[in-house]
Amino acid sequence: MSYSASLSENGKFIVCMMEDPITLDDAKEFASKVDRLSRATGVKRVFTDVRGAPNVLSVFENYDFAYKILEGLQIQRDVRAATLVDRTDSTHNFAETVIRNAGYNMRLFKDEEAAIAWLFEGNSANN
């Protein structure tokens, strides 16, 4: 899988890019890497661009990822994650549902500006 994760220029959020179809192994590796970067920097806002990277996990894999794998990896629940998808890509919709239902603050967006604005709306978005 081809992906990257680094701090934004202003250091206020983590910027991630994914370029290939997302498999279960890729999702686990990516979640771990982003979580490690978040813990190391103290940054709790994540912007991920998955345009061109459809979710190819089965319904069961998406459910297992949200409820078992993320818990097993001890992924932080206080991170706010905005994911930018292609306008016609609905492959991430079920993943968003189960991830949110499992207690993680992740939302899908089709507009980059709206995604970044959501990361910082509300109270403690200054980290």
Question: What DSSP letter does each residue of 54-72 carry, written as one string?
Answer: -B---HHHHHHIIIIIHHH
pTM confidence score: 0.91
- Amino acid making up residue 71: E
Q: What is the dihedral of CA 49, 28, 75, 83, to 10 degrees?
A: 20
Structural domains for the chain: 3-120 (3.30.750.24)
Q: How many helices (H) and strands (E) does the chain have?
A: 5, 5
Q: List the pLDDT tens digit at each of the 127 positions of the chain.
A: 678 999 999 999 999 999 999 999 999 999 999 999 999 999 999 999 999 999 999 999 999 999 999 999 999 999 999 999 999 999 999 999 999 999 999 999 999 999 999 999 975 544 4
**Distance between CA atoms of residues 55 and 127, nearest Å:** 29
